[in-house]
Amino acid sequence: MSSVILSAAGAALVLDTSGPGLPRVRHFGADLGVGGQDLAAVLPPSPGAPAPSLLPAQAESWYGRPGLSGVRDGEHWPVRWSVENVEVSAEPGGGGTVTVTAADERAGLRLVCELVMEGSGLVRMRHAVMNTAASPYRLEGLVCTLPVPARAAELLDFTGRWALEKVPQRREFTRGVWSRENRRGRTGHDGTGLLIAGTGGFGFRSGEVWAVHAGWSGDHVHYAERLPEGVSLLGAGELLEPGEVVLAQDATYRTPWVFFTWSGSGLDDASHRLHEHLRARPLPVRPVTLNNWEATYFDHGLDRLLELAERAAAAGIERFVLDDGWFRHRRHDRAGLGDWYVDEGVWPDGLHPLADRVRELGMQFGLWFEPEMVNPDSDLAREHPDWILARPERMPPPQRNQQVLDLARPEAYAYLLERIDALVREYRLDYIKWDHNRDIAEPVHDGAPGVHAQTLATYRLLDELRERHPGLEIESCSSGGARIDYGILARTDRVWTSDCNDALDRQSIQRWTGLLVPPERMGAHVGANRDHSTGRMLPLAFRAATALFGHMGVEWDITSATAEELEELATWIALHKRLRPVLHSGRVVRADHPDPTAFLHGVVLPERGVFAYVQLTSRLDVGPAPLRLPGLDPEATYEVRLAGPVPERTVLPEWAAEPVRLRGSVLGELGLPAPAMRPASALVIEVERV
């Protein structure tokens, strides 16, 4: 058979280009280490159904969900693609690009399929379809898929809600379709992020896994499908409403990038390939950040904020972010949203007294916005009710006292661009916290469903601001973690992982969000003694150790903290700064720890590593399981020592009394004797190659 093989970092993608029709995907998984001449014997045809093509369709005997669906007014012609060209370009370090162009003249459509295998072995794919006929083509769906083998016996995906995102759920990979559809207008608290298929019992360090992620911030779908013929696949793409995309003659629709990752040794390796994609766009050093929201809420008294800034600087914090409440009429969350002018009544001298003092203290200054939303009780909504994303005759159901601005409307877009740009310039903003606090309901733009146009307009606005202000950092916040995807992360520098700062819940939220997002892009803050969302009281050491393994920050009224608490917080911040080169560039590893009441995770570089042993709840067993540190070189010798404060009432093993030297094979296979810790405790362990 004629074939194209892309391979990198132990992964391979094999396309059968012998035709007829689009190339068929014969293999996605481990690098086979064979040339094209050997593939006919290695990959014989399936006895049931042929391998699916890049865009599965009935014309190739595929009777599952089609890759392309749509209708044309008048006459219906099922699409049968004729390939015009297959262009392949290989990268010297591994991977490469395949671009396939095809057409069906009778159906009036042209197609371009792009596949890129990155040097990490990650595959990303997108399709573009053009209408070449005179009559409109109503596109109903266009998705990207790759097959998985029959040994993929389990599925893992994620659900959640506000303040409890990324809750894992497993099920058997049975016949039929398991579809995760999101119609919230944003990625959603319950958005899966990743849909993962794997061999039975796969874990972080074991089993073979395949995963898919749609890099899109609007409505989307992830699905797994298994047919009785013995063919299975994973797919994802934008989820379109009827009439949302109607292609006039010569108009083109392009899917978002869809990402596929594989690992032969568990979730960590698949996650690492994804992390490498985001890390291809380098970031500056991640400043420890204080956000004032849970410290002061809408109380923007200058003296109080200045005191907060003074305490922050003394503790070693490097960035001060002023959250909601600084703009006109915004004394509560029921008014003012959209009136992006500094409130003269609260800030008679503008924000300059605060911003200038923050900079005098050696910190950066950032500001909160929620550009895509508007309060009905605002000057903007009263002056321009037609700018709301809705039919003119009625408003969508309100949420959080908000409606959605139609960013695809040029006037609304221009207003937001001018206002944000002016404030960034006037206050020399280093940072924007960009929030999005409600789902989008009944969106109508120019008489058609509006999520697609709204999402693209949001991307354009972010892109334009970044072009005007290259040094500006932007955080994607969406009432916490409701907009975390590679579409928004291509334009922002970090995500707000959750509105929940409860460190016990955060351990799981960060653990699973971290499959998709590396630590330096996950906002992780030290909250108050009593958490504002759960009411749970947790020790400062546990709150700080949890925040240590992300983009660390503080969201706590530290003006009310004791001198001892401030000293301890400063100690943790100093530790984070010292370990930041490892935490924000190393490979994330998670042990398949046998004790379900504890987590063991870390970040490793060739020369150094940082681990956390986290006792979540009370142990069932009297003696804790050994700490087998993953990801280390078995042939190397490491010095092992404690880093950071030891939790109260912890019984340390002998090795923790002073640094010890052990081979990586011992640390990984036998492990270290574990300390005895009470619930909600974390011990930080540092290793260094000698």
Residues annotated as catalytic are: 435, 499
Please state, in angstroms and rounded to a whole number, the distance separating the CA atoms of residues 537 and 528. 8
**Tokens, residue 379:** 């000057």
Please state, in angstroms and rounded to a whole number, the distance separating the CA atoms of residues 482 and 159. 11
- Is-contact 685 640, C-beta < 8 A? yes
Tokens 């097959």 correspond to: 147
Please state, in angstroms and rounded to a whole number, the distance separating the CA atoms of residues 362 and 351. 17
Residue 177's nearest CA partner among 232, 241, 140, 237 is 232
Q: What type of residue is 368?
A: W
Please state, in angstroms and rounded to a whole number, the distance separating the CA atoms of residues 339 and 343. 9
Residues 6+ apart with CB under 8 A from 126: 113, 114, 144, 254, 255, 256, 257, 258
HSE (CB half, 13 Å, CA atoms) of 457? Answer: 24
- Is-contact 572 549, C-beta < 8 A? no
The angle at the Cα of 253, spanning 249 to 258, to the nearest 5 degrees, equals 165
Please state, in angstroms and rounded to a whole number, the distance separating the CA atoms of residues 469 and 327. 22
DSSP symbols for 178-235:
EEEEE-SSSS-TT--S-EEEESTT--SSSS-EEEEEE--SSSEEEEEEE-TTS-EEEE
Strand 373-374 versus strand 403-404 pairing type:
antiparallel
Please state, in angstroms and rounded to a whole number, the distance separating the CA atoms of residues 628 and 612. 12
**Tokens, residue 281:** 């766009």
DSSP symbols for 266-281:
-HHHHHHHHHHHHHTS
- Is-contact 412 420, C-beta < 8 A? no
**Tokens, residue 22:** 């689009």
Total Cβ atoms within 10 A of residue 20: 10
CA dihedral in degrees (448, 449, 453, 455; nearest 10)? Answer: 170
- Is-contact 403 385, C-beta < 8 A? no
Containing H/E element for 525? Answer: strand 522-526
Q: Long-range contacts of range 529-535, CB-CB < 8 Å, 24 or more positions apart?
A: 529/556, 531/500, 531/501, 531/502, 531/503, 532/294, 532/501, 533/163, 533/499, 533/500, 533/501, 533/502, 534/163, 534/500, 534/502, 534/505
